[in-house]
Amino acid sequence: MRLRNIKGSKEIIEGSPYVISSSNQGLSNQWKSIFPQSAPIYLEIGMGKGKFLVDSAIRNPDINYIGIERYSSVLCRAVQRVEELEPIHNLKFINMDAGELLNTFALGEVDKIYLHFSDPWPKDRHAKRRLNAKEYLTIYDKILKADGELEMKTDNLLLFEFGLEQAKSANWKIIHCNRNLHTQEYLAVNPIMTEYEKKFGSAGNAILQYVIKR
């Protein structure tokens, strides 16, 4: 997701209590003092405009949610959205690239990772940039708790199959694998959706989901 630059977006981000700066010493082991409550950490990598995180944080106040997004123009929209609401104690954002995750989380600090509608990088020579590639699994392996899980949702079949194959070859276990998530039963329970999930699901695309663990 790339958006036109919003004038002053840097200032809006820097001035927000929801945004944690990744620039100084690194944030690993700092999270206990950043959130007012000690609670499991759920992390969305590539959060876009933050719809899923905001809705999840409101619905599940006993989980601490963190979203990372590399484009400030996109993160700025999330900040603007959340600042119109009542304060949310269990939600933080960081403007950073997933490649920096090892500076941001200590070993085993994260309980769950979400990859939602990640950029597909369709060319073979860009495969390493896909957020479900084995290079990233090595990073997630370090920051996830021993029984922590990673959930991917996408409508891109190639990215989905690639992720499953990478997970298997890195010896992760496939806990769930669903090639048609949006059944009537699923939609009836009023699930929290990401922005892209809502958009592509309503357009009739099959929504694909897998959950993996080590």
Shortest Cβ 37–ligand SAH spacing (Å): 25
Shortest Cβ 38–ligand SAH spacing (Å): 26
| Residue 66: both structure tokens together | 């963190």
Q: For ligand SAH, give the closer residue by CB, 32 or 198.
A: 198
User: Which residue shows structure tokens 């990215």?
Assistant: 159
Examine residue 97 and tell whether it contacts ligand SAH (CB under 6 A).
Answer: yes
Q: Kindly tell me which residue out of 66, 74, 110, 143 binds ligand SAH, with binding defined by CB under 6 A.
A: 74
Q: Kindly tell me which residue out of 31, 93, 172, 196 binds ligand SAH, with binding defined by CB under 6 A.
A: 196
Examine residue 135 and tell whether it contacts ligand SAH (CB under 6 A).
Answer: no
CB atoms within 10 A of CB 130: 22
Q: For ligand SAH, give the closer residue by CB, 109 or 197.
A: 197
Shortest Cβ 179–ligand SAH spacing (Å): 18
**212-to-15, 99, 148, 171 alpha-carbon distances in Å:** 36, 20, 9, 10
Examine residue 47 and tell whether it contacts ligand SAH (CB under 6 A).
Answer: yes
Closest CA relative to residue 211, chosen from 175, 172, 169, 167: 175
Report how far residue 66's alpha carbon sits from residue 18's, in angstroms, rounded to the nearest whole number: 10
